[in-house]
Structure 1
Amino acid sequence: MDYQQILQEKVAICLTLQGAKETFPFDKKIHALKLGGKIFALIHLYHGDLYVSLKCQPERIDRLREEYSNIKPGYHLNKQHWITLVINEHYDVEPETEIALIQNSYQLIFQKLSKKAQNTVRFSAND
């Protein structure tokens, strides 16, 4: 697997979401995808695997972790609100589910933005 290419694909998926921006607040290896200044996805390579960390509703986390062996508690994040998809040769999360989880994380952040910030996102063009 070409994890660098997969990393770029995951970042590209995130950047299709209205108002999403890619930043590097920690270092140049950790891609932080933000909406309104708040992170909704962290994507980076770690020990040969690709880690995609996403916000998630606490009531969904246990069920997702039971259903998919590659969904882990949020790596270095609040485990009540974050999950990490560990992409490796044993990856068992379907592409549709993965995209839905990314969109869900984005929506969780969007809902927390002020009405003014939400309107700014709604009426902005992705650059």
Structure 2
Amino acid sequence: MDYQQTLQEKVALCLSLQGAKETFPFDSKTHALTIGAKIFALIHMYHGDLYVSVKCQPERIDLLRDEYMSIKPGYHLNKKHWITLVINEEYDVEAETEFALIKNSYQLIFDKLPKKAQNTVRFSAND
């Protein structure tokens, strides 16, 4: 598996969402995907695996972790609100589910933005 290509595909998937931006606030290798300057996804390589961390409703986290072995508690994040998809040779999350989790995280962050920031996102064009 070409993890660098997969990383770029995941970043592109996140950037396809309205108003999403890519930043590097932590280091040059951790891709932080933001909406209204708030992070909705973190993507990076760690020990040969690709990690995609997204926000999730607390009541869904245990269900997802029970169903998928590739879904772990949020890596270096609040484990009550974040999950990490560990992408490696044993990755068991379907593409549709993965995209739904990313969109869900985006929506959770968007809904918490002030109305002015939401309107800025709504009327922005992705670069």
Shorter-chain TM band: over 0.9
CA–CA separation in structure 1 for the residues paired with 2:29 and 2:2: 16
Q: Which consecutive aligned stretches of 4+ in structure 1 deviate over 6 angstroms post-superposition?
A: none
- Root mean square deviation of aligned Cα: 0.3
Match of 2:97 in 1: 97
Q: With structure 1 as the length reference, what TM-score do the two structures score?
A: 0.99
Whether 2:73 is the aligned partner of 1:65: answer no
Percentage of identical aligned residues: 83
In the TM superposition, what is the alpha-carbon distance from 1:112 to its structure 2 partner? 0.2
Matched positions, count: 127
Tell me the secondary structure at the aligned position of residue 79 of structure 1: coil
- Measure how far apart 1:88 and its partner are: 0.2
Q: What does residue 11 of structure 1 align with?
A: 11
Give the SS at the match of 2:27.
Answer: coil
Letter of the structure 1 residue corresponding to residue 70 of structure 2: N
- Counterpart of 1:36 in structure 2 is 36
Name the SS for the 2:126 alignment partner: coil
For each residue in 1:33-89, what CA deviation from the matched residue of structure 2 results, as whole angstroms up to 9, or x when unmatched? 000010000000000000000000000000000000000000000000000000000
The aligned amino acid for 1:125 is A
The amino acid across from 2:111 in the alignment is: Q
- Take 2:123 and 2:24, find their aligned partners in 1: how far apart are those partners? 25
1:81-92 aligned at under 5 Å gives the runs 81-92=81-92
- What's the TM-score once normalised by structure 2's chain length? 0.99
Structure 1, unaligned stretches of length 5 or more?
none
Q: Which consecutive residues of structure 2, in runs of 5 or more, have no partner in the other structure?
A: none
